[in-house]
C-alpha cells in the first residue's frame, strides 16, 4: 500500500502539470496584431452600422439608425472612390451582417483601414454630440482626425475621442474606428439626421479626414456634385 501511494503522488503531479499546459494553451486567444497602415492604406472598408432585422436606434426624431447609417456610408464610399481609394462596403442595402463578418470583410482586404458609421441614442433627450471610438492605438490618429473634421459642422457638440472594446474594432486586423454621428434621440440632431444635406456633409467631413490622414492635410478635394445619386434615401 505504501508503494502504491508513493506511485500515485508523482502521477498526480504529472497529471496536474499536463492540465496546466492544456489550460494555458486553450485559454484566451492571443491578441490580434493590428497592422499599422495609417499612412499607407489604399482600401477603405466602410461599414454601415446595423441593418436588416437590426434597426439600431429607432427614434421618432431621427427614424431608424440602420437607414441613416447606410445613407451616410454610401455617400462616404462615393466620395472616397472619387478620391481614388478602393472602397469595400460591408453592406450596400438593408441586410443584417453579423459583427464578426464585418470585421472579417475588412481583414480579407490588403492594406486597408476600417470606418464604421453609427448614430447614437440616449434615454435623455438633451444628450447630443459627436464622438469617435477606436480600440487599437494605431487607429488613434485617424479617430482624432475624423473627430476634428466633423466638429467643424454647424452646431456640432464635441463628446470626444474614446477607446472602446466594440467587437468590430477589437476584431479588426487594420486600424479601425467607429463614428457616432449624433443622437437620434435628440430633437435637433435627430431632425438633422433626416436631412440629406446634413448626411452628405457628415460623409464629406469623414472623407476629408480619411484623405488627409493618408495623404496629408489639405489634399482632399470635395466632389463637385453631391453624392445624392449614389446614396439611398431614408
Is the predicted pLDDT of residue 95 greater than 50, yes or no? yes
User: What pLDDT digit, counting tens, does each position of 114-162 carry?
Assistant: 999 999 999 999 999 999 999 999 999 999 999 999 999 999 999 999 9
Domains of the chain: 43-230 (3.40.630.40)
Pairing of strands 58-59, 63-64: antiparallel
Q: Are the C-beta atoms of 104 and 150 separated by less than 8 Å?
A: no
pLDDT of residue 12: 54
Q: Which of 108, 12, 99 is nearest to 56 (CA)?
A: 99
* Tens digit of each residue's pLDDT (9 = 90 or more) over 43-59: 999 999 999 999 999 87
Burial of 218 (0-12, 13-18, 19+ CB in 10 A): exposed
pLDDT, tens digit, 9 for 90 and up, residues 192-228: 999 999 999 999 999 999 999 999 988 898 875 444 4
Amino acid at each position: 500500500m505504501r508503494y502504491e501511494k508513493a506511485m500515485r503522488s508523482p502521477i498526480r503531479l504529472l497529471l496536474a502539470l499536463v492540465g496546466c499546459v492544456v489550460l494555458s494553451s486553450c485559454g484566451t486567444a492571443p491578441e490580434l496584431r493590428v497592422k499599422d497602415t495609417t499612412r499607407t492604406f489604399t482600401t477603405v472598408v466602410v461599414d454601415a452600422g446595423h441593418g436588416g432585422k437590426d434597426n439600431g436606434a429607432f427614434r421618432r426624431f431621427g427614424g431608424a439608425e440602420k437607414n441613416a447609417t447606410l445613407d451616410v456610408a454610401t455617400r462616404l464610399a462615393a466620395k472616397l472612390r472619387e478620391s481614388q481609394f478602393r472602397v469595400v462596403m460591408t453592406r450596400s442595402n438593408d441586410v443584417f451582417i453579423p459583427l464578426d463578418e464585418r470585421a472579417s470583410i475588412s481583414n480579407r482586404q490588403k492594406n486597408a483601414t476600417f470606418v464604421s458609421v453609427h448614430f447614437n441614442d440616449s434615454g435623455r433627450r438633451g444628450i447630443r454630440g459627436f464622438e469617435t471610438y477606436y480600440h487599437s492605438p494605431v487607429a488613434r490618429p485617424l479617430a482624432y482626425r475624423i473627430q476634428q473634421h466633423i466638429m467643424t459642422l454647424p452646431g456640432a457638440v464635441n463628446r470626444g475621442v474614446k477607446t472602446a472594446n466594440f467587437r468590430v474594432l477589437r476584431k479588426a486586423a487594420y486600424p479601425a474606428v467607429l463614428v457616432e454621428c449624433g443622437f437620434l434621440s435628440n430633437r435637433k440632431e435627430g431632425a438633422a439626421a433626416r436631412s440629406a444635406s446634413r448626411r452628405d456633409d457628415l460623409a464629406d467631413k469623414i472623407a476629408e479626414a480619411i484623405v488627409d490622414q493618408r495623404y496629408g492635410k489639405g489634399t482632399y478635394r470635395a466632389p463637385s456634385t453631391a453624392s445624392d445619386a449614389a446614396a439611398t434615401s431614408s
